[in-house]
């Protein structure tokens, strides 16, 4: 597996990471078999993955516990990213509405995460969502203190706007920003990516396969399981899916020519955008993991990229990427 550097603070990771959220049932349906997911995480490491992404909110707590158990035997050889920022009771796991990045809560979340992850440090600690009630300078200062204590190595932000990123970075250098980005959602190109390049901050796209749409396995007739968040996403309504299949058809054409899968082309396209972009596709299946990691070996030429960009510019993707309430919690 090729490696990349996230930001200018010396955080070197595999070119493709692993998003672990779906392994404990968040958003896409029921929880997967725990022993099987432990084997999958370790299989990812065996295939060169060093960046593993989790969060206290995934469960809550269950995902960090899974990742901690899976990576404990190889802890010194991997990098763990987790997140704080939602208002979750640290004793009961009750998730209240809204955010909570008050300094005392962030410190408590870090200590609890260290226990669940079976480690003495968090490699990358993201604010999951910006808290409108806590100045970002206070949040950055709190994480700066955790870094000084050795509990955290790097500071990250998730779904933050560019002004928030600038303000945070002035207090504690931000190593990485995480937001949705793919051929299915190119919003970060407008403002976010130029600012990250200017400040020397790495970018970690989640949903790099458009929540599965870019794999080519979803069409207008696909029925999602009860509890799957895509049932409530405008972009995944049957009507929108039917219209948006034009994008998938274009990816399939390139995939056939490159002797790759649509998912590999979608991921290779992301990797080709900037050398400091590290996508974190998630999966619960070994063959999908191997497919995703194979994208790091797919070389898209300048002509390939021009062809894709020209085709995408003619396709108007229909539907919002998130429900309205969720969009209000993002800075993009």
Interval 257-302: pLDDT, tens: 999 999 999 999 999 999 999 999 999 999 999 999 999 999 999 9
Number of domains in the chain: 1
Section 250-254 average pLDDT: 97
Give the C-alpha separation, 178 to 50, whole Å.
17
Domain holding 9, by residue range, is 3-327
Which helix (H) or strand (E) covers residue 176, if one does?
strand 174-180
Kindly report the CATH number assigned to the domain that includes residue 194. 3.20.20.100
Positive or negative torsion for Cα 47, 275, 83, 143: positive
| DSSP designation for 188 | G
Average pLDDT over residues 43-64: 97
State pLDDT tens for residues 96-148.
989 999 999 999 999 999 999 999 999 999 999 999 999 999 999 999 999 99
Is 108 contained in some domain? yes
pLDDT the model gives residue 226: 87
**Residue 332: inside a domain, yes or no?**
no
Residue in the structure block whose two tokens are 């070197």:
12
Residue 194 forms part of a structural domain: yes
Is 58 annotated as catalytic? Answer: yes
Indicate whether 106 belongs to any domain.
yes
> Whose CA is closest to 141, among 177, 171, 162?
171
Mean pLDDT in residue range 235-258: 97
Q: Is residue 109 part of a domain?
A: yes
Q: Which of 28, 58, 126, 181 is catalytic?
A: 58
Q: Which two tokens stand for residue 255?
A: 């995939």
């Amino acid at each position: 597996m090729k490696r990349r550097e996230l930001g200018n603070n010396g955080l070197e990771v595999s070119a493709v990471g692993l998003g672990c959220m779906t392994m404990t049932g968040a958003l896409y349906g029921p929880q997967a078999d725990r022993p099987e997911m432990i084997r999958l995480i370790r299989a990812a490491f065996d295939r060169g993955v060093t960046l593993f992404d989790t969060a206290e909110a995934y469960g809550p707590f269950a995902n960090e516990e899974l990742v901690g158990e899976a990576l404990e035997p190889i802890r010194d050889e991997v990098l763990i990213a987790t997140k704080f920022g939602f208002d979750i009771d640290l004793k009961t796991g009750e998730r209240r509405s809204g955010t909570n990045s008050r300094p005392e809560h962030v410190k408590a979340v870090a200590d609890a995460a260290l226990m669940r992850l079976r480690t003495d440090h968090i490699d990358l600690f993201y604010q999951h969502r910006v808290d409108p009630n806590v100045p970002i300078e206070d949040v950055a200062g709190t994480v700066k203190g955790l870094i000084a204590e050795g509990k955290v190595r790097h500071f990250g932000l998730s779904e933050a706007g560019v002004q928030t990123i600038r303000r945070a970075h002035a207090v504690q250098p931000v190593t990485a920003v995480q937001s949705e980005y793919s051929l299915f959602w190119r919003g970060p190109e407008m403002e976010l990516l130029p600012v990250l390049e200017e400040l020397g901050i790495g970018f970690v796209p989640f949903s790099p396969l458009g929540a599965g749409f870019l794999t080519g396995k979803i069409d207008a007739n696909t029925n999602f399981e009860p509890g799957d968040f895509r049932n409530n996403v405008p972009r995944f309504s049957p009507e929108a899916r039917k219209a948006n299949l034009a994008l998938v058809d274009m990816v399939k054409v390139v995939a056939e020519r490159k002797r790759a899968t649509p998912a590999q082309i979608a991921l290779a396209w992301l990797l080709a955008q900037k050398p400091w972009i590290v996508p974190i596709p998630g999966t619960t299946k070994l063959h999908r993991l191997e497919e995703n990691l194979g994208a790091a070996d797919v070389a898209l030429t300048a002509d390939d990229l021009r062809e894709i960009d020209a085709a995408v510019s003619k396709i108007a993707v229909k539907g919002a990427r998130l429900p309205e309430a969720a969009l209000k919690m993002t800075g993009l």
